[in-house]
Structure 1
Amino acid sequence: MEKGTGSPTAVEGSVSSIDGGLWQRLHDKVKLEVDESTFAPEGTRWSNKDLDPVPPEFQTWRTYNFLTYWIADAFSISNWRIGASLIAIGLSWKLALAAVAIGNLVTAFVVTFNGFIGARLHIPYTIQARSAFGFYFSYVMVVFRVIISIFWYGIGTYTGAECVQTIIYAWAPSFRNVPNQLPESANIDTGFMICYFIYWLLVLPFHYIPAHKLHWFFTFKAIVSPIAGFAIMGWVISETGGGDRVFSYGNELSGAKLGWAFMSGVNAMIGNFATLGVNMNDFARYSKKPNSPWVQLLVIPTVFIIMMLFGIIGANGSRILYGEVLWDPMTIVNHWTSPGGRAAAFFVAVAFLIANIGINISANSISVAVDLTTLFPKYLNLRRAQYVCAILGAWAMTPWNILKSAESLLTFMDGYSIWLAPISGILITDYWFVNKQRVSVPDMYRPDGIYAYEKWGTNWRAAVAFVVAFTPLLPGFAKAVTPSIEVSDGASNIYAIGYFFAFLSSSVIYYSLSRIFPPRSEHSRRTIKEYLEEANMESRL
């Protein structure tokens, strides 16, 4: 054989081998070294240690931690903004406050009764969902939740950027004059984009902290953030000459329009924390005592009513001071232009920045991390998945388009809750009423366990209840998103009470189907109720 006439097959094979070697090294680099799960089958296909029930040494949340968690979450820009947005759509302060009270009472009920499950079983939402929806169909529910939570992370990033912007305005007023290089259609300018990037960098180190160690940060945030809210409210009342003027505005709507606007406001209040109504167990599973979540029934309505009252006062006060409703507290603070006002603006913005970092982790990034870890347990753990969330939520979702007006915020909040409401309804009904607090945690980790149900790892009763609950709301949702679409008044009205409708209808349908057609295990051929009763268990760990 002459020189240079070697076999082409050998050359191609060597190139292929190199490429394959590079791919294998990359795969090994990305793949996690996962401790073998105590509950999942051998291997890491279905779980890793971050999804297992929380061991006793990591059960660090006490009752007061749930209290400070919700105080910290309530006193934030997003909740001020929501209270103020009710004024922006034409409600009086009395009706706005009533909508806040009703909405948060419902939120407290859903969060508490679902969170109790996590506190008792020490499992996250993604594992809990397998008992109600079936081992495989639960992954559909995980995808629904992860998309929504990623959106919320983006909104939290936008809100944090507002705090950074106010801090810079107070420190260097000339920053207001940064030339804008972006088109008006972008819904964001160059100066704010700089602040957005700064906040995004600031929050990244916090994703490194394990979830069971975050309770100390919520306690710190619960002390700092209310101070900022009271400071703005006090300034508004002082500048407007007293509370009487702030509370002098009435409803701008009347008749049926007023009634449905009120119901839309209630629905938005519930939608505000509809995600935590589903995934509270991602934090409740760290509870040291199973009864600690009960404190949420009291603390949630109380602190949210106070915080959203701040938003209502701020919205009406800004109407007096500036001739328009400023529904964002940072917009009000940005008017503090005197030397003393700038110092106050700086410290208020820092307090809200701390609050925002905490809420974006507690309500968003941890939940996304649990979801992504469930979907890709070989490649992601809770820490790594939070960084994936930081990229997707902050940049892929363009939250500045969602938050361009008060109406768009309410539309967004109303919209996603039509899918979260039936998930919450089915989870609560399954645990409390269908199975009467009896579950088998080990079977939640096994694809051949009792939660494989009759076929395809799917509880068809939950699937039917889920689809039937949200389908009637789709025309109203389409109208809300695209106002040019023509739908009946009935469709729009039922959408205005979408959370109530979806939650209650899914609960009733799921319970009824479960009673008429008792769920059975594909492998044991016994009903799940029989299996659990024979085992005489309340929760088998």
Structure 2
Amino acid sequence: MDKTEQIYVKDGDTATGIVFDAPPTSMWRRLLQKIELKSEVENGRRSNPDLDPVPPEGRHWHARHYALFWISDNVSVSGFRTASSIMDVGLSWRMSLLCVALANLLAGIIITLNGIVGADYHIPFSIQSRASYGYYLSYLMILMRCIVGIFWYGIQTYTGAECVQSMLYAIWPSFRNVPNTLPQSANINTQLMTSYVLYFLTILPFHYVGIHKVKWLFMVKTVATFIVGFGLMGWMINTVGVSNSSLFSQGNTVHGSRFRWVFMNSFYSNLGGFTTLMVNAPDYSRYAHRRRSTYTTLFAVPFTATLVTFMGVVVASGSKVMYGEILWDPLQVVDKWTSKGGRAAAFFCALSFYFSQLGLNIAANSLASANDMNAIWPKYINLRRGQFIAAFLGAWALTPWNIMTSAPAFLNFMSGYSIWLGPLCGVLVADYFIVHRQKYDVNELYKFGGIYNYRWGFNWRAFAAFTIAWVPLLPGFIPTVSSGITASSGLTHLYDVGFFYGFGSSILSYSVICYFFPAKETYVETAVYPDDITKGRDIEDISSEEVYSDKIQTE
């Protein structure tokens, strides 16, 4: 008995179309996708299969997968280094841990909140943003997020190259003696450039594999790096203990009002690294089996960030006793082993950190940038092509070795970009939960002239709220990237609490503006979800151009 699949492909806004009775094979589905996409473009709908809502068969991310995803994002080389910058400005290790824990707790809450729209409608951030900003204004927000992702891809690639370099030191000790053939002006030596090329070549194949197929990578990364983290910490405690450590005996070196503002600035800096993930949370939550599958983010983000930060403090503290210098970078610690007979352990540790950087770069940077480029040029770019473009631009066009070695002001700029991404995310959250009360028409989000086009594709309410949220922070931000400019203490302190102001004021101002000047054409009485198209509704009930696929199993 053969099973067939009856599929109705609607022709634009009319009730006519073609009915296919065909085996439900991937060949037929690909053929129908081409027919559907051609019809959609002709009727004012720019999309492709990667940009469309994730179909039911693609929603197989469960709670454990999201836990592993976010754990793997925190368990990294940069996670070990987190406490270094906080303790350098005068906080004790206890206050550093508290700062990290609170920042990541807030980050986990916001990531979960903004990710709900992805879990409900199975759409990426680039499509979600149209509901609040309008069809064309959303492109500016998407481009802003895309550029940030590409820059950070290059910076994380540089860290990944350091992992490969440590692996080469372990398996080939004489690699340390490889002569440098590059000029000093290159800001990178031959050893690190060789490692950089190897890292880049080995990470490329992972961009070809879809995000829904690399769940195993996050599991391997999480398990391996946790083993290494606990191993490093246990080895250091067993070797030197913690009682004689200067870091653990160090208290706060700032007090009074100065202490409060230093704490808030450190809090803000830790949140800054998460604003990109807050904005594009739907890019990952769209694969959720159900909404509550994403809730593990609330616990995974703060718990693992605090734990890894503590590991970093212990290892750095022990390195002071053992080597006479504080080594916040775990790779520098394992590099010490290669000259003392610990080459196998050094290689395994460096390999685990390599996987750490690989997963982090895919999750936080290449995939997010690919989703953004996919929305801007859906006819030419899909997720795979977008990831390759982001990889080559970030890793080579931006020359991150120059950024890391000779442009500290630019790194301050990259850490302060949350003055824009925080307000951007605030508008998204306010629009979904307060203004539209979680009721979108998913079909209209994909239409040029749909209800979310607003006036000329520009929602002035969102733009006004976005502007109100970031402009007051600019005077406090500029001195961080230009040493020749100073700001008043009041503006500096406002920047120190910039995320709270930017995110909070955008939510408040957008909600108030929409209350007094509502865009009534965008409000729907009943939410329209992707699955509503496939639940046997009559053709006459479908009001926008869409593909109607009613799967009927017959014998």
Q: TM-score higher than 0.5 here?
A: yes
Could you tell me which amino acid in structure 1 is paired with residue 301 of structure 2?
A: I
Q: Which moved more, 1:185-194 or 1:117-126?
A: 185-194
Pairwise CA distance, 1:358: 1.2
The SS at the match of 2:456 is coil
**TM-align CA RMSD:** 2.3
* Alpha-carbon contact 1:39-1:445 (below 8 Å) kept: no
Pairwise CA distance, 1:70: 1.4
Pairwise CA distance, 1:253: 3.3
Deviations 1:32-66 (A, max 9, x none): x9664499543787221110000111111111111
Pairwise CA distance, 1:338: 3.9
Deviations 1:199-225 (A, max 9, x none): 001100111101221222212222112
The SS at the match of 2:337 is coil
Could you tell me which amino acid in structure 1 is paired with residue 261 of structure 2?
A: W
Pairwise CA distance, 1:435: 0.9
Tell me whether 1:96 sits opposite 2:102 in the alignment.
Answer: no
Could you tell me which amino acid in structure 1 is paired with residue 527 of structure 2?
A: M
Q: Which moved more, 1:291-300 or 1:318-327?
A: 318-327
Structure 2 match to 1:326: 327
The SS at the match of 1:484 is coil
Tell me whether 1:153 sits opposite 2:147 in the alignment.
Answer: no
Tell me whether 1:457 sits opposite 2:451 in the alignment.
Answer: no
Structure 1 match to 2:176: 176
Structure 1 match to 2:527: 537
Supply the distance in 2 between the matched residues of 1:365 and 1:34 (Cα, whole angstroms).
Answer: 26
Tell me whether 1:281 sits opposite 2:282 in the alignment.
Answer: yes
Q: Give me the TM-score of the superposition, normalised by structure 2.
A: 0.85
Pairwise CA distance, 1:279: 0.5
Pairwise CA distance, 1:91: 2.1
For residues 159 and 512 of structure 1, do their structure 2 counterparts lie closer, same or farther at Cα, with a shift above 3 Å needed? same
The SS at the match of 1:426 is helix
Unaligned runs of 5+ in 2: 1-32, 533-555
Supply the distance in 1 between the matched residues of 2:277 and 2:510 (Cα, whole angstroms).
Answer: 21
Supply the distance in 2 between the matched residues of 1:48 and 1:316 (Cα, whole angstroms).
Answer: 52
Supply the distance in 2 between the matched residues of 1:259 and 1:177 (Cα, whole angstroms).
Answer: 48
For residues 451 and 169 of structure 1, do their structure 2 counterparts lie closer, same or farther at Cα, with a shift above 3 Å needed? same
Supply the distance in 2 between the matched residues of 1:317 and 1:410 (Cα, whole angstroms).
Answer: 29
* Alpha-carbon contact 1:121-1:441 (below 8 Å) kept: yes
The counterpart of 2:522, out of the listed 525, 528, 541, is 528
Pairwise CA distance, 1:371: 0.7
Number of aligned residue pairs: give it: 498
Supply the distance in 2 between the matched residues of 1:243 and 1:445 (Cα, whole angstroms).
Answer: 61
Structure 2 match to 1:205: 205
Pairwise CA distance, 1:339: 4.5
* Alpha-carbon contact 2:59-2:286 (below 8 Å) kept: yes
Structure 1 match to 2:416: 415
* Alpha-carbon contact 1:72-1:222 (below 8 Å) kept: yes
Supply the distance in 2 between the matched residues of 1:88 and 1:322 (Cα, whole angstroms).
Answer: 19
Supply the distance in 2 between the matched residues of 1:496 and 1:269 (Cα, whole angstroms).
Answer: 12
Supply the distance in 1 between the matched residues of 2:238 and 2:231 (Cα, whole angstroms).
Answer: 11
Q: Quick one: percent identity of the two aligned structures?
A: 46
Deviations 1:167-222 (A, max 9, x none): 01111222222223445554432211111111001100111101221222212222
Structure 2 match to 1:435: 436
Pairwise CA distance, 1:311: 2.0
The SS at the match of 1:123 is coil
Could you tell me which amino acid in structure 1 is paired with residue 346 of structure 2?
A: A
Supply the distance in 2 between the matched residues of 1:195 and 1:510 (Cα, whole angstroms).
Answer: 48
Pairwise CA distance, 1:323: 4.1
Deviations 1:292-317 (A, max 9, x none): 11121122111111111122223333
Structure 2 match to 1:399: 400
Structure 2 match to 1:230: 230
Deviations 1:88-130 (A, max 9, x none): 3332101111110110011011100011110111000000000
Q: Which moved more, 1:81-90 or 1:283-292?
A: 81-90
Supply the distance in 2 between the matched residues of 1:337 and 1:344 (Cα, whole angstroms).
Answer: 9
Could you tell me which amino acid in structure 2 is paired with residue 321 of structure 1?
A: M
Supply the distance in 1 between the matched residues of 2:384 and 2:314 (Cα, whole angstroms).
Answer: 39
Pairwise CA distance, 1:401: 4.1
Supply the distance in 2 between the matched residues of 1:39 and 1:146 (Cα, whole angstroms).
Answer: 29
Supply the distance in 2 between the matched residues of 1:309 and 1:408 (Cα, whole angstroms).
Answer: 28
For residues 381 and 335 of structure 1, do their structure 2 counterparts lie closer, same or farther at Cα, with a shift above 3 Å needed? same
